[in-house]
Chains A and B, each alone.
Chain A
Amino acid sequence: MPASAVCTKPEDLVESLSSLDTSARLKALRDVKNQIIGNKTKKLSYIKLGAVPRVVEILASDTDIPLLVQSAAAVGSFACGTDAGVKAVLDSGVLPHLLRMLSNGNNKVVEASARSLKMIFQSTLAPKNDMFQGRRIDLILALLNSGNENVSEVAASVLARCCETSEHQKALADAGCLQSLVFLLSGSPKRKEAALDALAALTRGNPDTSAALAATGAVSTIIRTMKDKSPRARLLACMCLSNIGRACHNNYQQEWDIRKSILSTVGKLIDENGQVGEEAPGVLADLVANNEELQKTAFDFNIIERLAEAQCSIAMALGHESEGVRIAACACIKSISRSVKNLRTTLTDERLVWPLFRLLNDPSPAVQASALSAVSNVVLDFTPHKAVFFQCGGVSQLIQLALSMEPMLRLNAVWALRNLLYLADMSVKEKVMRELTVSTLVDLVCDSEEMVQEQALAFVRNLVYGSVASVQQIFAADAAILHAVERQLCVATRPEICTQALYVLSNVAAGNEYHKDAVMDFVAPALTGDRSVSILIKFLLDMSNPQLRVAAVWCISNLSFPESPGVGTRVARLRDAGIQLQLQKMFDDPCTDVKDRVKTTMEQFLCTDQMTSNTGQSVSCRLHPSAALTLSHSSWRSVLAARRKLYCCSNGAANRDAKVKLRAAPWSCGVVGSTMIIYLGGLHVPLSYSGLSIVSTMLSSDCGLDPQVKAISLVVLQSAELCGAVWLIESSIRQFDTRLTCMSFDQMLSGRRGCLLAAVIALSSVILSALAKPGTSVYLENNHYDPALKELLASGGVSLCATVAVCCGITPLLEEFVYRGFVLTSLAAYASPPWAIITSSLIFSLVHFKAPEETLWRDQLVSLAHLVMTEQPRAEVGKAALWRAGDTVGHQRCVAYVEGLGCLLLLCSQLLHKEGKNKRTY
């Protein structure tokens, strides 16, 4: 009876492995082998004691058959089950010896060595490429044809493990491996499995070898194997068939019958326990992956039930305890969800979606990454799962994962978020941004991984796509995101990243004037010298990637989009930056997409040039006659009415204009509010002569002042109000534009604090005026100013002139400037055009609150109707001129004032003319 393992010390055993006495060596070897088989701890301890090199030494130098068999078996056992063992065995250089043993005359030696090889090649550490050096593979092929079942089985399974690249596959197929393997299919179950395994490896993703296998006529045998008793054999058969099916399309109908049965076989195999159950979802994923036709035809053939059956299995697999199964199930869903049809039909099953979402919390990062990639397909816009996803807090989970340290997780999480925002509506975007925060997004844009950067930029691209409000999001927190994107554009080298960043800019440039200007400042900086070269030129010149050029041209195209107010300036700046010159060179770009875009953009450039020259002419030639006309019609009452009419008219014009393109709003919401309150409280109430004002009460009362003094003071007061308003609004623009944070007054103006301050000023001015004049409160009930103005008009030349100047010049300009240029413009940026106009009208009428018979509502309705009847050209002229008057942000500010004033007067007179025809009196 052999010595008990417990009695002999391992150290001694290892010593005697190198004993000179053959029988002692054999005994020690047997003991070691018997101890380590099935015993991981023993294996590791013997590896530590250095047993492996000694065992290999026996294999290398001995010739005694039992010794060789035992040592080969021991090597195999060391290599079985632990990576440390495989490493130790490979380090000892056993591979050449084992391969040499394969040509040994003794069957037992060959069998034992082959088995050891199989053990080694079951590990991922195995040197797979080494097997393709020299004549080694021929040896294995020779073993394939061996009469010994065990040997040929081992050879087949070694082949299955070795064969990884398409070169391997080709080399093996050329060596006639396929025929030998097909022959093995008729052998014992084990041999059949090994042969199928090898065939699956040989044909994986390789159309050539797949076709070659089909040509051997083995397909019918493999199809029969799909009904084999062993689940593993069924699975491997399905693998082979799906490989063949992808490579060859011969007999359509028959092929589909086979595919159907593959599908159902694999679906059932998912229920199997162990390795087969783990691998089956992977095979299923492989089967339906990238084959829309297969999926579609599968549906046409009404095998939805079968898929649904598989789905239940997938759902179960999602909750499987094995990590591999969960990963494979996720991959399967990902593949199925590549088809929109599947997304909308099969994948609507909640049993599938909920477990998938839950897997985002999986402890294993590999599962999480796999689940994320499936989720990113599932949350696309047209799926019904978006709501479900929000319900179960998926967004915050994604954001958590986007902060992960694991690059794969970060990448997939950002990808999923990006898909979530694809064509999403504003509420979704806001929800996501609230949770993600601007600073996190900036971090992701500047991530250390380039792939993450690309996806983060794509996320931003989807974020800013669409309405003006969407674009506005990138300007949150001092436009930190935009700056990050711009930085990436300057430093990034990968074309994919630059493309995404350019599309972000392009989407921003589709926003309003302010957004366009922000992009302009980056693309063609105005401040850094007159002939600076735009950064876009770099991308336009990039010939490596047409996508990059398309994106860059898109960006320019959006910037030069006609029918937006500032387009003239922008086009000029782009031209200065050398972009037009570059675009002209690109008329014959090799990529048609680029060519088309360039053509459109150049047309826009030309169109803009024509438009600016036209409007310039029309305004300048009308300036003088208009002044003359106005002076001849100078009844103050009619002028007032006409002014109101004009106001409405310009509103209407704005309405139509706004439909074409939303106006720029260089003011933030808070600034608009606070500025308006300061204006009303600080300027309008004390200084204006109509409505809710102090001057009006002063004018009406018999204070003993000379009418001429009153008239002159009216001029002075109105001019003061105008100057004050201009200064106020200008300063608020400047504050927003240059972001002066050190200036205390500007700081107070901005945000909620500014609003509060403004409210306090307004309130105190009203209280002060009430204190100064106890009768102030009475003015609300009486219509004071009419008789007062009448009196002024009636009392002599100077006062008449002054009053007319006030009524026809200063006041209209002031009101257009404030309500049209400032209030309406600001509102238009935050609300839809009709609402902006209604709201601004409301504000106007509230401020100019008067007796019922003169309510502005009626006037506005009448004049809106009137506007509809007005001929188009005149409205156009009025519109253009008024825009310029209102557009105080423009560069030629002074010119705009003068021109605006002239056009205003012109329009007044024209409308007065119509008024006379309509016989309407006030």
Chain B
Amino acid sequence: MGKGESSSKKIVSREEWERKLAEVKIRKEDMNKLVMNFLVTEGYVDAAEKFQHESGTSPEVDLGSITDRMAVRKAVQCGNVEDAIEKVNDLNPEILDTNPQLFFHLQQQRLIELIRSGKLEEALEFAQEELAPRGEENHSFLEELERTVALLAFEDTSNCPVGDLLDFSQRQKTASELNAAILTSQSHEKDPKLPSLLKMLIWSQNQLDEKVSYPRINDIVAARLEDPVT
């Protein structure tokens, strides 16, 4: 306020800004597509069905495949990795066959689940049988493998340096990776379009700040226009 640099900036009043915003016509269908894209990508099958019913927007993918994908995701989130692998293989055997990193992470998650349930001998055997060869094939896996196997060394796993592997967040991470791979195999975007639109909004506002003073949106959730700084 009253700073030298502000005086050089052009000021756009709230009324003018709103008038200009109103001039931009956005098609309703496009907005609907954006919403549908979000629902499909995030796997909200029921909501997508309802939305399709109400707005008549086509989801562009078989909603059945969303159910499958969600089932897989849920299986990982529940710690039932083996089941998830079978489901993915039924969906498309190519996914795990051509994506060694994802396959390794699933096996790693399986080991973590074994350790969590206290089946230590089985876990050890599994690590030797399944994970060690993967580490041989690709050395970048070795470090993660070591970290995971280190879990076996601690009595109180909740309080050890690699304890974060037992967190729910680890399951979530694996589930997201698997979800993204399935989406890619179905020729679908990994991420919904809405978040990238928000990123673009913030970027353009930052660019605009350097030149103009205008009614900014500071609170993204409420999308309220602030008064321009004068």
Q: How far is the CA of A820 from the CA of B129 in the complex (A)?
A: 93
B residues 70-129 with Cβ under 8 Å of A?
82-83, 85-86, 89, 92-94, 96-100, 103, 122, 125-126, 129
B187→A191 contact, CB < 8 A? yes
Binary per-residue interface labels of chain A (100-120) against chain B in the complex, 1 for a CB within 8 Å, 0 otherwise:
000000000000100100010
Q: What is the chain B residue whose CB lies nearest that of A150?
A: B92
| Any B CB within 8 A of the CB of A878 | no
B97→A80 contact, CB < 8 A? yes
Q: How far is the CA of A81 from the CA of B98 in the complex (A)?
A: 8
Given contacts A2-B86, A33-B89, A191-B187, contact A38 B125 (CB under 8 A): no
| Any A CB within 8 A of the CB of B209 | no
Q: What is the chain A residue whose CB lies nearest that of B187?
A: A188
What distance in Å separates the Cβ of B125 from its nearest Cβ neighbour in chain A?
Answer: 6
A residues 54-82 with Cβ under 8 Å of B?
73, 76-77, 80-81
From the candidates B86, B94, B99, B103, name the one contacting A115 in the complex (CB within 8 A). Answer: B94
| Any B CB within 8 A of the CB of A6 | yes
A residues 3-29 with Cβ under 8 Å of B?
4, 6
Residue of A37, A76, A149 contacting most chain B CB atoms (<10 Å): A37
Chain B residues with CB below 8 A from A119, complex form: 94, 97
A residues 29-44 with Cβ under 8 Å of B?
30, 33-34, 37-41
Chain B residues with CB below 8 A from A33, complex form: 89, 93
| Any B CB within 8 A of the CB of A190 | yes
Q: How far is the CA of A149 from the CA of B82 in the complex (A)?
A: 28
What distance in Å separates the Cβ of A43 from its nearest Cβ neighbour in chain B?
Answer: 10
Q: What is the chain B residue whose CB lies nearest that of A112?
A: B93
B94→A38 contact, CB < 8 A? no
Chain B residues with CB below 8 A from A73, complex form: 89, 93
Q: How far is the CA of A533 from the CA of B94 in the complex (A)?
A: 73
| Any A CB within 8 A of the CB of B210 | no
Chain B residues with CB below 8 A from A39, complex form: 103, 130, 133
A34→B89 contact, CB < 8 A? yes
B97→A38 contact, CB < 8 A? yes
| Any A CB within 8 A of the CB of B30 | no
From the candidates B97, B122, B133, name the one contacting A37 in the complex (CB within 8 A). Answer: B97
From the candidates A6, A34, A112, name the one contacting B86 in the complex (CB within 8 A). Answer: A34
| Any A CB within 8 A of the CB of B5 | no
Q: How far is the CA of A190 from the CA of B126 in the complex (A)?
A: 35
From the candidates B83, B86, B92, B133, name the one contacting A41 in the complex (CB within 8 A). Answer: B133
A6→B82 contact, CB < 8 A? no
What distance in Å separates the Cβ of B50 from its nearest Cβ neighbour in chain A?
Answer: 25
| Any B CB within 8 A of the CB of A705 | no
Q: What is the chain A residue whose CB lies nearest that of B94?
A: A115
Chain A residues with CB below 8 A from B122, complex form: 6
| Any B CB within 8 A of the CB of A477 | no
B89→A80 contact, CB < 8 A? no
| Any A CB within 8 A of the CB of B155 | no
What distance in Å separates the Cβ of A114 from its nearest Cβ neighbour in chain B?
Answer: 11
B86→A38 contact, CB < 8 A? no
Q: What is the chain B residue whose CB lies nearest that of A188?
A: B187
Chain A residues with CB below 8 A from B130, complex form: 39
Binary per-residue interface labels of chain A (162-199) against chain B in the complex, 1 for a CB within 8 Å, 0 otherwise:
00000000000000000000000000111100000000
What distance in Å separates the Cβ of B88 from its nearest Cβ neighbour in chain A?
Answer: 9
A6→B126 contact, CB < 8 A? yes
What distance in Å separates the Cβ of A916 from its nearest Cβ neighbour in chain B?
Answer: 102
Chain A residues with CB below 8 A from B133, complex form: 39-41
Chain A residues with CB below 8 A from B125, complex form: 6
| Any B CB within 8 A of the CB of A215 | no
Q: How far is the CA of A741 from the CA of B63 in the complex (A)?
A: 97
Chain A residues with CB below 8 A from B126, complex form: 6
A81→B187 contact, CB < 8 A? no
Chain A residues with CB below 8 A from B137, complex form: 40
What distance in Å separates the Cβ of B58 from its nearest Cβ neighbour in chain A?
Answer: 14
| Any B CB within 8 A of the CB of A1 | yes
From the candidates A6, A34, A37, A149, name the one contacting B129 in the complex (CB within 8 A). Answer: A6
Q: What is the chain A residue whose CB lies nearest that of B98?
A: A80
Q: How far is the CA of A76 from the CA of B89 in the complex (A)?
A: 12
B82→A4 contact, CB < 8 A? yes
Q: How far is the CA of A190 from the CA of B94 in the complex (A)?
A: 14
What distance in Å separates the Cβ of B113 from its nearest Cβ neighbour in chain A?
Answer: 12
Q: What is the chain B residue whose CB lies nearest that of A31?
A: B86
Given contacts A6-B126, A39-B133, contact A1 B187 (CB under 8 A): no
What distance in Å separates the Cβ of B183 from its nearest Cβ neighbour in chain A?
Answer: 12
A residues 130-187 with Cβ under 8 Å of B?
149
Chain B residues with CB below 8 A from A189, complex form: 187
Q: How far is the CA of A41 from the CA of B136 in the complex (A)?
A: 11
Residue of A39, A76, A189 contacting most chain B CB atoms (<10 Å): A39
B83→A34 contact, CB < 8 A? no
Q: What is the chain A residue whose CB lies nearest that of B188?
A: A188
A81→B86 contact, CB < 8 A? no
Residue of B89, B96, B137 contacting most chain A CB atoms (<10 Å): B89
B89→A1 contact, CB < 8 A? no
Q: How far is the CA of A538 from the CA of B82 in the complex (A)?
A: 78
Chain A residues with CB below 8 A from B103, complex form: 37-39
What distance in Å separates the Cβ of A101 from its nearest Cβ neighbour in chain B?
Answer: 15
What distance in Å separates the Cβ of B81 from its nearest Cβ neighbour in chain A?
Answer: 12
Q: How far is the CA of A112 from the CA of B93 in the complex (A)?
A: 9
Q: How far is the CA of A119 from the CA of B94 in the complex (A)?
A: 9
Chain B residues with CB below 8 A from A37, complex form: 85, 89, 93, 96-97, 103
Chain B residues with CB below 8 A from A6, complex form: 122, 125-126, 129
Chain A residues with CB below 8 A from B92, complex form: 115
Q: What is the chain B residue whose CB lies nearest that of A75?
A: B93
A76→B93 contact, CB < 8 A? yes
B129→A38 contact, CB < 8 A? no
Q: How far is the CA of A191 from the CA of B103 in the complex (A)?
A: 24
Q: What is the chain B residue whose CB lies nearest that of A4?
A: B82
What distance in Å separates the Cβ of B14 from its nearest Cβ neighbour in chain A?
Answer: 37
Q: What is the chain B residue whose CB lies nearest that of A69?
A: B90
What distance in Å separates the Cβ of A370 from its nearest Cβ neighbour in chain B?
Answer: 27
What distance in Å separates the Cβ of B60 from its nearest Cβ neighbour in chain A?
Answer: 9
Given contacts A6-B122, A189-B187, contact A77 B86 (CB under 8 A): no
Q: How far is the CA of A2 from the CA of B126 in the complex (A)?
A: 17
Chain A residues with CB below 8 A from B93, complex form: 33, 37, 73, 76-77, 112, 115
B187→A30 contact, CB < 8 A? no
What distance in Å separates the Cβ of B160 from its nearest Cβ neighbour in chain A?
Answer: 26
What distance in Å separates the Cβ of A86 from its nearest Cβ neighbour in chain B?
Answer: 13
Given contacts A6-B125, A37-B89, A39-B133, contact A1 B97 (CB under 8 A): no
Q: How far is the CA of A438 from the CA of B97 in the complex (A)?
A: 57
Chain B residues with CB below 8 A from A4, complex form: 82
B residues 140-196 with Cβ under 8 Å of A?
187
Q: What is the chain B residue whose CB lies nearest that of A38?
A: B103
Residue of A33, A38, A190 contacting most chain B CB atoms (<10 Å): A38
Q: What is the chain A residue whose CB lies nearest that of B96?
A: A38
Chain B residues with CB below 8 A from A40, complex form: 133, 137
Q: How far is the CA of A41 from the CA of B137 in the complex (A)?
A: 10
B96→A30 contact, CB < 8 A? no
Chain B residues with CB below 8 A from A190, complex form: 187
Chain B residues near A (Cβ < 8 Å): 82-83, 85-86, 89, 92-94, 96-100, 103, 122, 125-126, 129-130, 133, 137, 187
Chain A residues near B (Cβ < 8 Å): 1-2, 4, 6, 30, 33-34, 37-41, 73, 76-77, 80-81, 112, 115, 119, 149, 188-191
| 28 A-B contact pairs sorted by A residue (CB < 8 Å) | A1-B82, A2-B82, A2-B83, A2-B86, A4-B82, A6-B122, A33-B93, A34-B86, A34-B89, A37-B96, A37-B103, A38-B99, A38-B100, A39-B130, A73-B89, A73-B93, A76-B93, A76-B94, A76-B97, A80-B97, A81-B98, A115-B92, A115-B94, A119-B94, A119-B97, A149-B187, A188-B187, A190-B187
Shortest 4 CB-CB contacts between residues of A and residues of B: A38-B103, A188-B187, A38-B96, A190-B187
11 further A-B pairs in the complex, CB-CB below 8 A; given A6-B125, A39-B133:
A6-B129, A37-B85, A37-B89, A38-B96, A38-B99, A39-B130, A40-B137, A73-B89, A76-B97, A115-B93, A189-B187
